[in-house]
Structure 1
Amino acid sequence: MKRLIARFIKDERGATAIEYGLIAGLIALGVAVAASSLGTSISTGFTNLASRVVLWLPASGTSKP
């Protein structure tokens, strides 16, 4: 029984798996934050582009003779 407990205490496989899991979780969190920030920037860019294009187009509802 002593040998079994000693072997269990020395076993580090579970700790390594937990460390890798934490690293993977932090990387996933970083990717999610970066994607959110990039999405916001892209949305803002398209909004600005759309407002500029609207200024170039003739007003809607007017007809030319």
Structure 2
Amino acid sequence: MDTPTNWRKSSYSGSNNNCVEIADLADGGRAVRDSKSPGDGFFRFTAGEWSAFVDSVKAGEFDR
């Protein structure tokens, strides 16, 4: 299992350091980590899991 190297922060991230970074994986999935603690590891998602998450966000399922 390789560690991703192409990390990027969301353009929606503000200057308050409450950010996550994502990286594309070779198999089409994504990895997610805390930008304040990148050495603490990351979560790995398959392409299907990531797509379902993005669709849920777009549908407003996580709105307060």
Structure with more relative contact order (C-alpha pairs < 8 Å, separation 6 or more): 2
Task: Report the structure, 1 or 2, having the larger helix content.
Answer: 1
TM range (shorter): under 0.3
Q: TM-score, normalised by structure 1?
A: 0.25
Task: Report the structure, 1 or 2, having the larger strand content.
Answer: 2
- Larger Rg computed on CA atoms: 1
Q: TM-score, normalised by structure 2?
A: 0.25
